[in-house]
Amino acid sequence: MKKAVIFDFDGTIIDTETTWFHVYKDLLKENYHIDLPLEEFAKSIGTTDEGFYQYIELTTGMKIEPQNINKLANELFLEKRSTLSIRPGVKRKLAEAKELGYLIGLASSSSREWVEGFLRQFELWDYFFVTKTCEDVEKVKPNPALYVRALEELKVEPQQAIAIEDSVNGAYAAINAGMKCIVVPNQVTSFLRFPEKTFRFESFDEFNFEQIFSYKKFA
């Protein structure tokens, strides 16, 4: 029976989320005099930004134009992009899954252009049999649709698949798709409380896939 490992992208493969937090923290401080709490920013990790923009409007009492904030944020992010790297242990996990004969997929709430650009830049693109992004579904995480679509294309049953996530929204998406879910938090998600039906590890070197597949706790 075929098995699969499906990775989230932002924050899991490359920790773009910590960079985005610092970008928005600086931007809101300078332009709106808001000291952005990490707890507030974390609510939007792994999903859409509507709640984040509502927070800015409620805090400032002003009507904002998301496209203007996005433009400024993207400019600041580009200045920091060269500092990004693959999270430690990710390549070893990709190689482990490939050696075991598992199908490897990706399910991300971000755009295809964003995801594919980074995967090709870091020479990871060829590991993935299937890549599902926001263009492929009506609703992104925490809705399970991205994982459901990836499983359908891989032709793998949910019980024979593991998701690797870093966010609460992503974890709920994987669990509700019927999958086992490994969580490896990054700097901005490490303080979050994850669903009980997850396997949490602080690094990618603390687990192996065969161990998780054999573990019956959440089967």
Q: For 39-74, what is each residue's pLDDT tens digit?
A: 999 888 888 888 888 999 999 898 888 888 989 999
Q: What percent of the chain has pLDDT over 70?
A: 98
pLDDT for position 218: 54
DSSP 64-127: --HHHHHHHHHHHHHHHGGG--BPTTHHHHHHHHHHTT-EEEEE-SS-HHHHHHHHHHTT-GGG
In the chain, the percentage of residues whose pLDDT exceeds 90 is 85
Give residue 97's pLDDT band: very low, low, confident or very high (50, 70, 90): very high
- Residues marked active site are found at 8, 10
Query: What is the average pLDDT value for the chain, to the nearest integer?
Result: 94
